[in-house]
Amino acid sequence: AQSVTQPDIHITVSEGASLELRCNYSYGATPYLFWYVQSPGQGLQLLLKYFSGDTLVQGIKGFEAEFKRSQSSFNLRKPSVHWSDAAEYFCAVALTGGFKTIFGAGTRLFVKA
Amino acid sequence: NAGVTQTPKFQVLKTGQSMTLQCAQDMNHEYMSWYRQDPGMGLRLIHYSVGAGITDQGEVPNGYNVSRSTTEDFPLRLLSAAPSQTSVYFCASSPVAGLSYNEQFFGPGTRLTVL
């Protein structure tokens, strides 16, 4: 069955430090992959997505993610974290040809001064 | 352009009560969906619709009904609320064309507590 795993429930990073959030997926076909961010009390907003082409994708707010087929991973990165990046981050995979998206459990990011 | 709107923002129900969570979008999106968000479980798909008059079940449909009479609206009904339905509910929409790689637009959510 298809699944998305985010191994880290929460991560704490100092402001200005780099960030990497991990995401692994299980899906037989070529996946469509997404990262969404949820600020406290808000709905989800798309950060970036991958569906073909260059395996390094750029998103909003200075985020990027790299698709590695051999590792079934789609990790999210940011070189320098800002306090406003504190939020919950969800990795998701859309099933090809279907109408369903599977979300990971999320990683909550805390940013310390 | 309001995007996806949800009402109410908060709701407390007693076990056995019924209610409808409202969702509307003004982007003329054909695809709409309902998710519930529970701690440690991410978002799980309840029901979805690919157009007016067309709905289908998601991952966790039991205890919920939906209908889609217009493109804009996609209400979620709880016929007999149970404490296990305490959750945050999100509605989302997306264009159908190329759905697999289209962004979903989310509403702000409804926090439901069932006592």
Q: What is the pLDDT of residue B103?
A: 86
Per-residue pLDDT reduced to its tens digit, A69-111: 999 999 999 999 999 999 999 999 987 666 788 999 999 999 9
pLDDT at B97: 57
Of the partner residues A34, A97, A103, the one whose CB lies closest to the CB of residue B42: A103
On whether any CB of chain B is under 8 Å from the CB of A55, the answer is: no
DSSP readout, B65-111?
A: EE--SSSSB--EEESS--GGG-EEEEEEEE-STTGGGSPPEE---EE
pLDDT in tens, B30-47: 999 999 999 888 899 999
Q: Which chain B residues have a beta carbon less than 8 Å from that of A34?
A: 103
pLDDT of residue A78: 98
Structure tokens of B72?
Answer: 């804009």
Over the stretch B50-70, which tens digit does the pLDDT of each residue have?
899 999 999 999 999 999 999
Distance CA A63, CA A61 (A): 6
Inter-residue contact A76 to A87 (CB < 8 Å): no
CA B12 to chain centre: 17
Beta pairing, strands A10-14 & A56-58? unpaired
- Antiparallel, parallel or unpaired: β A10-14 and A107-112: parallel
B41 contacts on A by Cβ (under 8 Å): 105
Find the mean pLDDT for residues A11-33: 92
Which residues on B lie below 8 Å from A105 (Cβ)? Answer: 40-42
